[in-house]
Structure 1
């Protein structure tokens, strides 16, 4: 939002006769303060977005620890390497192509076509901090898949997959939903009547990030098949336990921590407007509310998983609880900014049953 400007011609009659000079002085002071407020708003918003990007990036360490603890010890180095590659290859390919495909407006409804290699950035509406935040999202989408195809993927194949997903697949999907030009974007859907005129509203990426990573992981698992030893000769499921519950719990808490950048950070700005001199209006209450709904959904899903798995197996299982917790976070991500806290609890409860049901289905 542009700062308000002062008109000396409009102000002079209010100050009485021979007051043009005074009006010009007051206007100069007003414009100076407005410019300072603009600079302060930009600095605060950029700092908030960068901090959120750092939190989301910390999720890569969470993915690495979670996956490392969930596989057998002999495959630890390989799975951790894939998570490093997600960040490194994803950074380069998202810089060269991904950001342009996602947010290169003006463009067509399918794919962006500007800002390749960050050419012409900064641009009106965003700066480098916005690129960094979106890159952290892109590599998170790639990281979701690594666990689905763990222990049975050649390194070169994973390198190609990671580069392709972060540089092409994920950016196109995010363009559809989050770019103002996207065919499913809420910003352009009203004239077209998509989804009753509302468009696709995905605040922080339940679909754009988690569903893209999940579908990629599903296809990878279907193509590669089960891990060696997952089923016995009679076709019965064999549990393959990870070698370290400690790493699983560490990774889960790191992901929980990073989710506070993922969901609340998706507001992009924390100061949304300013009015008269000295009056700045923020959306910090909405940011706090989003953090609360995120927390409650995860907690509800974790406890639901805990007791359901206890009834099923007769044991308290920490790895199942961790998976349930993360499932609750993924489920609330889309609507975290608008649902009531009590609704977030229900969302987490339902997500736990979905997770348990699909885990059971995967065993058959």
Structure 2
């Protein structure tokens, strides 16, 4: 079939935009690494940076071998172990997008493992990171991606049999990415238990602040920049176009998505800043950074289908969800060094619910129906008069994701725990993972001053334990 010049140009532009978005999402790994490194104590900085690298490299192999096929592959050619190529996809709009589409989806997949690593930081054996990262990226996450983003998924908005006539709207992954990573991290942190010294004998929390606010701020801004590939770039998942009568292309929706993303994150950041000021009595850099990220996580589901004013509402509520869950976590003596479960889980779940409340009918039709004539009316936000179908689908999606990740990652972490390959020893944790597992410290000056004494302490603890 002969392709016109206009079609070739359109295809080339879409491919370039898809790849550029993939590069932005991949750069979020650097943001995760900097955020995690700054949020842990100095004696564990080298370890947490290494685990972020491991999440990327191990996730790449597992997603290539298994994950992409589970998420989007069809037939005998869906997996390289079975057929000649794993790029036989019905879900990709154009076969020429296959490689670019794989790269974009891969960048999403490895982000999930990065979320989980934050929850179990500072007390986990390195081998456990290898196991969970491979399993989460290659199997657990892709199944959820298939449910929501594949045309044959039971929660998909493009399925031939829409759940409640709607399907679940999770445009860029508040549930598919963030909630999955958070629930996996929750079970890991819950089974491991709190870090040594995190709570005193009376159950009251003992502060264990991160060692470098500069890295936290750097990581936050890198994640902010990458989110412009995460959310606006997610139009490449569907490559929709507005009806020609509208006189506008899908670039208008891309711009709107970038604006809603920015407003939600900014609102959550400022609300968290002032909210925490009232609670603790001073301005806190770490808190405002997490607030910004919480707003981004929440808006990720509905960024393409809500008005800018609704994004402000989303960010405002996300900030209080984060603050409230952090208070609850301390009361329950749950220890998550990066607040990853509260941030990505709580705000991710809120994002799905928010979309069911505030999705605008016009935008839902533009994004998911592409102006096709004869389509049944699309359910939209409950608070905008759209009825209960969409919000019910969103609630079902939250429950399904939490259930699926719990029945897969929970037993996996429990088995690792029973095999004594999940948590490090108390002596190693006191000495720090950098010296006990990686032969040194992340900072030269710190190593010169502290390593001889701390390593001697570690050796003494180890020898005493063996004797």
TM beyond 0.5: yes
Equivalent residue in structure 2 for 1:264, among 210, 232, 235 = 232
Q: Report which stretch shifted further, 180-189 or 165-174.
A: 180-189
Q: State the match for 2:354 in structure 1.
A: none
Kindly indicate whether residue 63 of structure 2 is the aligned counterpart of residue 94 of structure 1.
yes
TM-aligned CA deviation for residue 273 of structure 1 = 7.6
Q: Which runs of 5+ in 2 are unaligned?
A: 332-467
Q: State the match for 1:26 in structure 2.
A: none
Kindly indicate whether residue 23 of structure 2 is the aligned counterpart of residue 54 of structure 1.
yes
* Conservation of the 8 A alpha-carbon contact between 1:302 and 1:324: yes
Equivalent residue in structure 1 for 2:145, among 168, 174, 184 = 174
Q: Report which stretch shifted further, 48-57 or 178-187.
A: 178-187
Kindly indicate whether residue 105 of structure 2 is the aligned counterpart of residue 138 of structure 1.
no
Q: Which runs of 5+ in 1 are unaligned?
A: 3-30, 108-112
Using the alignment, how far apart are the partners of 1:312 and 1:336 within structure 2?
Answer: 30
2:165 partner SS: coil
Q: Report Cα offsets for 1:237-280 as digits up to 9, x if no partner.
A: 111100000000000000000000000000007683898xxxx9
TM-aligned CA deviation for residue 40 of structure 1 = 1.0
* Conservation of the 8 A alpha-carbon contact between 1:101 and 1:172: yes
Using the alignment, how far apart are the partners of 2:153 and 2:28 within structure 1?
Answer: 27
TM-aligned CA deviation for residue 100 of structure 1 = 0.3
TM-aligned CA deviation for residue 35 of structure 1 = 1.7
TM-aligned CA deviation for residue 105 of structure 1 = 2.9
Report the RMSD for the aligned CA atoms in angstroms.
2.1
Equivalent residue in structure 1 for 2:125, among 154, 177, 181 = 154
* Conservation of the 8 A alpha-carbon contact between 1:105 and 1:179: no
Q: State the match for 2:348 in structure 1.
A: none
- 1:122–1:184 distance in 2 versus 1, CA, 3 Å: closer
Using the alignment, how far apart are the partners of 1:171 and 1:271 within structure 2?
Answer: 23
2:194 partner SS: coil
Q: State the match for 1:128 in structure 2.
A: 99
- 1:90–1:311 distance in 2 versus 1, CA, 3 Å: same
Aligned pairs (5 A) from 1:197-212 = 197-212=165-180
TM-aligned CA deviation for residue 116 of structure 1 = 3.4
TM-score (norm 1): 0.84
Equivalent residue in structure 1 for 2:80, among 105, 116, 119 = 116
Aligned pairs (5 A) from 1:1-364 = 35-105=4-74, 114-116=78-80, 119=85, 121=87, 125=93, 126-188=97-159, 191=161, 194=163, 196-268=164-236, 272=241, 282-364=249-331
Using the alignment, how far apart are the partners of 1:291 and 1:105 within structure 2?
Answer: 32
* Conservation of the 8 A alpha-carbon contact between 2:73 and 2:86: no
- 1:342–1:55 distance in 2 versus 1, CA, 3 Å: same
TM-aligned CA deviation for residue 122 of structure 1 = 6.7
Using the alignment, how far apart are the partners of 2:9 and 2:220 within structure 1?
Answer: 36
* Conservation of the 8 A alpha-carbon contact between 1:271 and 1:282: no
* Conservation of the 8 A alpha-carbon contact between 2:78 and 2:87: no
Using the alignment, how far apart are the partners of 1:73 and 1:270 within structure 2?
Answer: 44
TM-aligned CA deviation for residue 312 of structure 1 = 0.7
* Conservation of the 8 A alpha-carbon contact between 1:177 and 1:185: yes
Q: Report Cα offsets for 1:188-224 as digits up to 9, x if no partner.
A: 26x4x62x21111110000000000010011111011
TM-aligned CA deviation for residue 147 of structure 1 = 1.0
2:4 partner SS: helix
Q: State the match for 1:28 in structure 2.
A: none
- Number of residue pairs matched? 321
**Which aligned segments of 4 or more residues in structure 1 are displaced greater than 6 angstroms?**
none
- 1:120–1:305 distance in 2 versus 1, CA, 3 Å: closer
Q: Report which stretch shifted further, 205-214 or 229-238.
A: 229-238
- 1:255–1:283 distance in 2 versus 1, CA, 3 Å: same
